[in-house]
Structure 1
């Protein structure tokens, strides 16, 4: 008998903290998640497992990163209101963000006066923060609406085509089923391939465009940033083009 066993990462929400989100460009509530490594049998884990770290996720844009839970005064059970969350979990946040928020004012009032280093930093930051979200998505196969419709359509074809074939000729029934099976499989493969660009278009591009719009990046600046992420092995640099980002910003 073959037994599937090993270790898996477990996740448990432990509360919320206030911090600055580089994608939203303002202080946000972050969901703090405990990451554990637990043994599993047939992917059913037992307990939370050994602590391996914490992760914080912006409750607004969904960008996440590793977190040091000790960097906060405490972790709140509630996510708001923001002023209360800042006071309870990160009382020195406003002071710590003074220079960054001053930079945000300059971005809004005079983006053309930013230095090259400041511009590149503001362009790289949201790409870097959204990169883990892209990596997690493409690490496994996801079934979105398009894939679900393809599966349903394939099953439907396997039933409909034999009936249609039999109505024409009794000898066309079995080939109709095979044709439906092949067509359904083709639909599934097509939608699985299309699900990746669909995720980037619906989940990543709008966030990236909203974050970068105040900076008004040029296509050359975006090409440089995405090229560096691609060279570093990040999928976000492979799945997006500068032209796509520019179009999303303008739309």
Structure 2
């Protein structure tokens, strides 16, 4: 595929508060120290709207807010990719339906749909452009990248990609072991003026690329969105190799990153 530009990066995860402060860790020049995720309040929503959101939405909006800095938030198209969405809300709704007099909270129903984060982004930024919500199990990052890059190459302009997942209750973790909060975002656009160039190779092969740092490799296994950590290491300058990600349907996706030429 032809290259696209990466103009900005957003990141939030354990011990990774944002991309600028995490660059030295991702580049291997500082040790990664675990710290629980603290999601700062987003400036995109007023206080009364923020209170109606869930942790899942707040996590996604935080990555989106950082990655979209410097772009026109009112017009960029977006792709929001999450492996599981908000399973705890689904569980509460299903439990409510088992009661003799079932009553489902309208707010819980509103936040249960898979495009809840994408919808809140569109409302918060007053953005009427198309917003896609997708899932690809453990290949969700690859599916999101393929969707966002294809959209940028076919229609031009800027595209925001946000990948995120949150832990669910203990019962769900037995079958879907997501144990940490993690989200990242990329603002994709034309190669001109970008910090990096990204080219996808859907016909790639080989095993998944592990993280260079053992602590980050352990984190990569805790959340489907964290499968992007080898790519984030590459963007931070940890190495110059291609990155291979797991993709849906038993496939892999090759990623080639180059520093943009001035």
State the TM-score, normalizing by the size of structure 2.
0.22
State the TM-score, normalizing by the size of structure 1.
0.23
- Higher CA-based Rg: 1
**Which protein has the bigger helix share?**
1
Greater relative contact order (CA < 8 Å, ≥ 6 in sequence): 2
